[in-house]
Amino acid sequence: MTLLEVSGLQVEFDTPEGVVKAVNGMNFEVNEGETLAIVGESGAGKSQLVMAIMGLLAENGSASGQALFRGKDLMKMKPKELNTVRGRHIAMIFQDPMTSLNPFLSIEKQMTEVAMHHQGLPRDEARAHAVEMLRAVRIPDPEERILQYPHEYSGGMRQRVMIAMGLLCEPELLIADEPSTALDVTIQAQITELVSELRQETRMAIILITHDLAAVAEISDRIIVMYAGEVVEAGSVDDIFYRPQHPYTRGLLASVPRLDRVSDDELQAIPGNPPNLLELPSGCRFRDRCVEATEPCREKPPLWVSPDGRVSRCVIEMEGGLIEAAAEEAGDAE
Amino acid sequence: MNKPVMRVQDLAVTFTSYTGGLLQRQQRQLRAVDGISFELHAGETLGVVGESGSGKSTLARAILGLIKPGRGRVIWRGEELTGLDEEELRQKRKELQIVFQDPVASLNPRMTAGDLIAEPLWTFYPNMERRQVDERTRGMMKLVGLLPNQINRYPHEFSGGQCQRIGIARSLVLNPRLLICDEPVSALDVSIQAQIINLLKDLQKKLGLALIFIAHDLSVVRHISDRVMVMYMGQAMEISDKTNLYRKPRHPYTNALMKSVPVPDPKLAAAARRDSWLTGDMPSPYQRPKGCIFNNRCPYRVSRCKVDVPALRKMENEDWAACHRAEELDLSI
């Protein structure tokens, strides 16, 4: 069943240099119990997309479109109503666990208050529940460690605390924005393992946001690749890794340095820089960095959609795909 | 091989902190770098890899004299840096430069790209003619792949990768012979990381630089390194030729670091690292394990590892490993 359905989502920021369209007409859905990864470089709009859904945009940002969570539009909710949904039904964890935790409060205080506020539990029950969640994210000696302050935890342990806090209210949807990017590669692997286990133990849906395709290979069901505020490709995890359609997806895959191959080829980068939304080329937005770009790319590329939900936005024809007229109109509305 | 340009011998840095109240003040010693030795040749790249807290950055700073080492020597082209006074050391910085991790935070936001790159010239050659400074600045921009018409732009107008190019140009403008790169790509998008690594590799070839490249991820240093040193809690676990290390790591910690690198393949990803799982965090630096410092996380631990400290021993070839079982374990990929 569909848990979250986003359609026609646009996000704009008013800046001194002009209006920046960070997200330009996104349509996607998240099903119950499913893990969706949203992948893209800095400036792709992947974080702003979820910030808009959660009502957390910066002052100069505005969003339009629909985000139906269990049929109710998050974008039209009053702040109070949205506050209930956030934390209780949808939890979010951020990249830097140190700045998301209050350094002056013990983990016990921070976790217990969340449970008391959102679930109306009395203090001792809330505390017991918090300990249980710390145990669920594999923090050793949770009874002892809950008394400690954030600085007494290592980076990886802090991110576990963040996940535990996210899990407190047993949300239906967990949004994780680059949860392991700031961590050592060893700890990244542990967090990946943890998320993979939690997926199996709970029926929670997860949205994972990352710039590193390799980081989500093991733990996602579907993947959306974003570039300059738009979907460039979407499909099942196997589609994206084994049958990538879009040159940008292929570029992202090729840029991952691999150790499982003995060969020592030259490292592949995507040429150029992540998109500057104020200086986008005409036609295909990826054109100026694309190694396969040709003359027709100067025109707006078609959006191919297949019956099983595969999507590619490129002049290269997608097998079994039909051109989606409605989506094209949304894109043309800029 | 000819004579090394740099010799680091038994380098150690210890930080002292105090705990407890005024009356029960206790001194605690943190051994950030604990007896590191290596040699570096002209035009050679040494990759230094380890988790946060392994002492990689402290090692870099100690080599440059930005932190005073408690023990050991750094010999740069026959001269002992560790014995120099402040001013002599400052003059040496023309030859020894560093590139920092966060390309945006390490650049002054109020200075233009041109001024940022020219600043070291103003500092070390105050009498250099303006035209000459300008020429050199533009030359550096071209060298690192920036456009000359970007000279008057400010850091916020550049992407992360471009800011790192500015950082590199700034470090190279004095014509150094050694460049230390402290996690230069960790803050960049994966798609951009390879650009910077390839750039550094090209520059090294062109300029004949000796390079120390620090990272927490073994996959990042593979393409640029000739040799790789793996550090753990301030000590070297392994120093090996690149080809040998990636084909057959000698130390279980090296192996664990390799297994932690995510594989961009859904079917292989899970299987790839399950067989050698690195559990837990690095122990507190104040409570160093007895015996081998890695023993509490090591899947290959035997009783001896909890008692005897393994020395860094020479294997076949020019490879070194600090593990009791280095010869008997087969950790090949």
Q: Is the pLDDT of residue A101 over 80?
A: yes
Percentage of chain A with pLDDT > 70?
96
Cβ pair A158, A189 in contact under 8 A: no
Question: Between chains, do A215 and B262 touch, taking CB under 8 Å as contact?
Answer: yes
Q: Which of A211, A214, A264 has its CB closest to that of B262?
A: A214
Scanning A145-174 for CB atoms below 8 A from B yields: 154-157
Contact residues on chain A for B264, CB-CB shorter than 8 A: 213-214, 217, 241, 253, 256, 258
Residue spans in chain A of domains classed CATH 3.40.50.300: 2-89+169-332
Q: With cut-offs at 50, 70 and 90, classify the pLDDT of residue A265.
A: low
In a domain, B22, yes or no: yes
Percentage of chain B with pLDDT > 90?
74
Contact residues on chain B for A271, CB-CB shorter than 8 A: 195
Contact residues on chain A for B155, CB-CB shorter than 8 A: none
In a domain, B63, yes or no: yes
Cβ pair A91, A174 in contact under 8 A: yes
- Give how far B215 is from chain A: nearest CA, Å: 10
Scanning A182-211 for CB atoms below 8 A from B yields: 184-190, 192, 196, 211
| CATH number for the domain that contains residue B185 | 3.40.50.300
Measured CA to CA, the distance from residue B273 to residue A294 in angstroms comes to: 41
Q: Which residue has the higher pLDDT, A155 or B296?
A: B296
In a domain, B257, yes or no: no
Q: Which of B216, B281, B333 has its CB closest to that of A154?
A: B281
Per-residue pLDDT at A23: 96
Q: Is the pLDDT of residue A275 over 60?
A: yes
**Mean pLDDT score, A127-131:** 94
- What's this model's pTM, rounded to 2 decimal places? 0.90
Per-residue pLDDT at A131: 95
Assembly ipTM: 0.87
In a domain, B103, yes or no: no
Q: Is the pLDDT of residue B267 over 60?
A: yes
Q: With cut-offs at 50, 70 and 90, classify the pLDDT of residue B331.
A: confident
Which one, of A254, A248, A255, lies nearest residue A291 by Cα?
A248
**Mean pLDDT score, A33-44:** 94
**Mean pLDDT score, B79-87:** 91
- The 3-class secondary structure across chain B, one letter per residue, is CCCCCEEEEEEEEEEEEEECCCCCCEEEEEEEEEEEEEEECCCCEEEEECCCCCCHHHHHHHHCCCCCCCEEEEEECCEEHHHCCHHHHHHHCCCEEEECCCCCCCCCCCCCHHHHHHHHHHHHCCCCCHHHHHHHHHHHHHHCCCCHHHCCCCHHHCCHHHHHHHHHHHHHCCCCCEEEEECCCCCCCHHHHHHHHHHHHHHHHHHCCEEEEEECCHHHHCCCCCEEEEEECCEEEEEEEHHHHHHCCCCHHHHHHHHHCCCCCHHHHHHHHHCCCCCCCCCCCCCCCCCCCCHHHCCCCCHHHHCCCCCCEECCCCCEECCCCCCCCCCCC
Q: With cut-offs at 50, 70 and 90, classify the pLDDT of residue B20.
A: confident
In a domain, B142, yes or no: no
Question: Between chains, do A270 and B191 touch, taking CB under 8 Å as contact?
Answer: yes
- The 3-class secondary structure across chain A, one letter per residue, is CEEEEEEEEEEEEEECCEEEEEEEEEEEEEECCCEEEEECCCCCCHHHHHHHHCCCCCCCEEEEEEEEECCEEHHHCCHHHHHHHHHHCEEEECCCHHHHCCCCCCHHHHHHHHHHHHHCCCHHHHHHHHHHHHHHCCCCCHHHHCCCCHHHCCHHHHHHHHHHHHHCCCCCEEEEECCCCCCCHHHHHHHHHHHHHHHHHCCCEEEEEECCHHHHCCCCCEEEEEECCEEEEEEEHHHHHHCCCCHHHHHHHHCCCCCCCCCCCCCCCCCCCCCCCCCCCCCCCCHHHCCCCCHHHHCCCCEEECCCCCEEECCCCCCCCEECHHHHHHHHCC
The number of folded domains in chain B is 1
**Mean pLDDT score, A207-227:** 95
**Mean pLDDT score, B75-89:** 92
**Mean pLDDT score, B236-250:** 94
Query: What value does the mean pLDDT of chain A take?
Result: 89
- Give how far B260 is from chain A: nearest CA, Å: 5
Per-residue pLDDT at B1: 55
- Give how far B262 is from chain A: nearest CA, Å: 5
Give the structural domain span for B69: 6-95+176-237
Scanning B144-203 for CB atoms below 8 A from A yields: 159-162, 189-195, 197-198
pLDDT tens track for B66-80: 999 999 999 999 999
Per-residue pLDDT at A262: 59
In a domain, B215, yes or no: yes
Contact residues on chain A for B272, CB-CB shorter than 8 A: 260
Q: Which residue has the higher pLDDT, B268 or A124?
A: A124
Per-residue pLDDT at A164: 92
Which of A138, A208, A267, A289 best tests the B interface by mutation, with the highest count of B CBs <10 A? A267
**Mean pLDDT score, B192-204:** 93
Q: With cut-offs at 50, 70 and 90, classify the pLDDT of residue A328.
A: very low
CATH superfamily of A2-89+169-332: P-loop containing nucleotide triphosphate hydrolases (3.40.50.300)
Q: Which residue has the higher pLDDT, B143 or B29?
A: B143
Contact residues on chain B for A196, CB-CB shorter than 8 A: 270
Per-residue pLDDT at B28: 84
Question: Between chains, do B216 and A185 touch, taking CB under 8 Å as contact?
Answer: yes
Q: Which residue has the higher pLDDT, B276 or B304?
A: B304
Percentage of chain B with pLDDT > 70?
97
